[in-house]
Chain A
Amino acid sequence: MARIELRNIVRTFGGQHAVQNLDMTIEDGELLVLLGPSGCGKSTTMNMIAGLDSPTSGQILFDGVDVTQRSPHERNIAMVFQSSLLYPHLSARDNIYMSLKRSGLSKQQIEARIAHAAETVDVTRLLDKRPSQLSGGERQRVATAKAIVREPAGFLLDEPLSALDAALRLSLRAELVNLQKRIRTTMIFVTHDQIEAMTMGDRIGVMRQGRLEQIGTPTDIYNRPETLFVAGFVGTPPMNFLKGSLEQTDGKLWLVNPSIRMEIKGEFASAKPMKNVVLGIRPHLMRLSEAGSSALPLTVYAIEQLGNEAIVICDGPAGEKIRVVTQAGFTAPIGARLDANFDSAAARLYDPATERVVATDGAN
């Protein structure tokens, strides 16, 4: 278990920046999820933390000690790879044993450790099977046993669940979080699946194009996304965006576009007027009403019934798709005119030029 610090990490491949000026601290015993689309640098970041790759510049510290030049084994890192890679010709037991072969422990200690790790993830009865004889979920558990048997300073998982079917993914997700809390190890989990990130992480680091866009608790990331990318990437259905400008009249701030004029309340009321702005509002925070009121005019495009709620997908006034979550069983003919209302205090404002949240006099 260790506190892992990344200081101004840069990694370039042939002039291309894979990771740019990354600063991040993962607290001892924390589960940090690195989230981002493929090619965003999250796997490169993980490889550098593991010691499989070296940063072009910058430092990696474990518990304050610079380990940038150390091998994976010296860092005492354990890793579970995509599709839970194991040595295919070795039994589960021998696969786990390979983690301890260079540990210098005695034979009895190794055996005790293997037995304990196997028991922790409930694979004792699978120890004599080969990976090809195991199901996807069992392989995942054996790979986890192989990782925890080392009692690692850091436990790295690179999309270990992405090759599994949805039901299995759901149960293994909970299992991994439960395990991480039980053995209280520092864990870094890489994924491109935002639901996985939201459900597992103590904190989430969202990456894009080699940069860390935002790092924070799932609630923070969901409710207060700092950038347009995070706002659009996290959350299902995704956040709705309305373009317009900010105008100040009568000491009040208004979002104005050809179809609406709406007073901005809440934390963004103190923002400065600007020509181009993007307002973001979660689909759950909008309400539908009959056409004719003064709110956002929409045309029904499709309705998705989810059982406990319904998602109404609409064409907005500027041709954008607007999603509204409403009560289950909601029906409306395709092409029907509807209006949507929302509380502007619950919305977020972004500057399309910088793609960052608009500055206010308050905390931001």
Chain B
Amino acid sequence: MAHPDNSAPAPHRRTEVSNLSFALIISIPVLVFLLIVVAYPLAYAFYLSFNEIRFFGGYSADWVGLTNYANVLYDPSFWSSLGRTLRFTVETVILTLAIGLGLALILKHLPPGWRWLRALIILPWAVSPYGAGIFFAYLGRGQTGIGTSVAAALGSDQTFNLISANFVMEYLALGAAWNMAPLVAFFLLANMLTTPPRLYDLAKIDQMSHFETFWHVTLPPLRFTIFVFSCITTVLAMKTFDYIFTETQGGPGSASAVLTYTLYKISFVNLDLGYGAAMSFFLLAVILGSTGILYFIWGRKEERQ
């Protein structure tokens, strides 16, 4: 746009900090902090992964090159642990989002006198994964668990152990979803409340079925949130350790030894730090890879909307 009077001198500016410099100035403490707590351990782990570390007969670190990485690929317990991690992750993500969406729908349609439940429902999320693990361990056990008491209520005198080799991963996923779903529900509810109520009237006039109304009116504003929580839950599920440690200790046998648990055993029980460090980089790659895939096949589509 041309100004008719551009002969006027530009107003004198005092020296101001540019946006970029200002951003740098206020974020330097954080960057330094991150460097110490993230970059240093990461770099140290990277160094360890190329060495064989021994503690017996005095500490020693021998350079072994890529041997640790190669060994991981030939280790059957790595592949079985990875399989459990993926199974746990897929199940947790699906259960978390399904339960979260279900809860949000229930919370949205609460009658006016029951709206306080919306605040209360967040409570499970306030339980730490460590606590949730202990809680679900008691709940799942054969002697004290909910399986047995439900069976007793139905007139059976059998015990049902929910923490059994065949479906311990599903039971773990259910507990993880219980922990996380309220937060998802909270965000989805907030999204749902932005939909103008009259849009439901429009759907009625168009004679949409319940499913079509859900698909065309309720769901569209939720899709981006669902994508974001799929990513968050994927990352959280893949790196879950404390919850599984307190609930099943990788058992029964090694039926719930996910990659993080196997890593813990190699590094801190067997003290094979170099090998553990190498395997942990495979976990990092899996986490980055899966969120990357989620973004490329799903996230980009949601962004364009």
Q: Interface residues, chain A, CB within 8 Å of chain B? A: 47, 50, 52, 71-73, 77-79, 81-83, 85-90, 98-99, 101-102, 158
Q: Which of B201, B207, B216 contacts A102 (CB 8 A)?
A: B207
Whether A89 contacts B204 by the Cβ 8 Å rule is no
| Complex alpha-carbon distance, A73 and B201, angstroms | 11
Chain B residue nearest in CB terms to A97? B206
Whether A79 contacts B305 by the Cβ 8 Å rule is no
Chain B window 201-234, contacts with chain A (Cβ cutoff 8 Å), 1 for yes, 0 for no:
1101111100000001100110000000000000
Given contacts A83-B196, A87-B220, 14 further A-B contacts (CB under 8 A): A47-B201, A50-B201, A52-B205, A72-B205, A77-B205, A81-B201, A82-B198, A87-B199, A87-B216, A89-B305, A90-B216, A101-B207, A101-B208, A158-B198
Q: Which residues from chain B contact A101 at a C-beta distance below 8 Å? A: 206-208
Whether A89 contacts B202 by the Cβ 8 Å rule is no
Whether A98 contacts B208 by the Cβ 8 Å rule is yes
22 contacts between A and B (CB under 8 A): A52-B201, A52-B204, A71-B207, A72-B207, A73-B207, A79-B201, A79-B202, A79-B205, A81-B202, A85-B199, A87-B199, A87-B202, A87-B217, A87-B220, A89-B216, A90-B216, A98-B208, A98-B216, A99-B206, A101-B206, A102-B207, A158-B198
Chain A residue nearest in CB terms to B220? A89
Measured CB to CB, the closest approach of chain A to B217, in angstroms, equals: 7
How many residues of B are in contact with the other chain, CB < 8 A? 15
- CB interface residues, B 247-284, toward A, < 8 Å: none
Q: Which residues from chain B contact A87 at a C-beta distance below 8 Å? A: 199, 202, 216-217, 220
Q: Interface residues, chain B, CB within 8 Å of chain A? A: 196, 198-199, 201-202, 204-208, 216-217, 220-221, 305
Chain A residue nearest in CB terms to B207? A73
Measured CB to CB, the closest approach of chain B to A36, in angstroms, equals: 19
| Complex alpha-carbon distance, A88 and B202, angstroms | 12
Q: Which of B201, B206, B207, B220 contacts A88 (CB 8 A)?
A: B220
Whether B202 contacts A85 by the Cβ 8 Å rule is yes
In the complex where A87-B216, A87-B217 touch, is A81 in contact with B207 (Cβ < 8 A)?
no
Measured CB to CB, the closest approach of chain A to B63, in angstroms, equals: 57
Q: Which of A81, A98, A158 contacts B206 (CB 8 A)?
A: A98
Q: Which residues from chain A contact B216 at a C-beta distance below 8 Å? A: 87, 89-90, 98
Measured CB to CB, the closest approach of chain B to A180, in angstroms, equals: 19
| Complex alpha-carbon distance, A102 and B221, angstroms | 24
Q: Which residues from chain A contact B196 at a C-beta distance below 8 Å? A: 83, 85
Chain A residue nearest in CB terms to B196? A85
Give 6 nearest A-B pairs by CB, closest first: A73-B207, A89-B220, A72-B205, A102-B207, A81-B198, A98-B206
| Complex alpha-carbon distance, A161 and B80, angstroms | 63
Measured CB to CB, the closest approach of chain B to A113, in angstroms, equals: 15
Chain A residue nearest in CB terms to B219? A89
Q: Which residues from chain B contact A88 at a C-beta distance below 8 Å? A: 220-221
Q: Which of B204, B217, B220 contacts A72 (CB 8 A)?
A: B204
Q: Which of B198, B208, B305 contacts A85 (CB 8 A)?
A: B198
Q: Which residues from chain B contact A50 at a C-beta distance below 8 Å? A: 201, 205
Measured CB to CB, the closest approach of chain B to A340, in angstroms, equals: 47
Measured CB to CB, the closest approach of chain A to B184, in angstroms, equals: 21
| Complex alpha-carbon distance, A102 and B213, angstroms | 14
| Complex alpha-carbon distance, A242 and B231, angstroms | 71
Measured CB to CB, the closest approach of chain B to A129, in angstroms, equals: 13
Q: Which residues from chain B contact A158 at a C-beta distance below 8 Å? A: 198
| Complex alpha-carbon distance, A99 and B199, angstroms | 13
Q: Which residues from chain A contact B205 at a C-beta distance below 8 Å? A: 50, 52, 72-73, 77-79
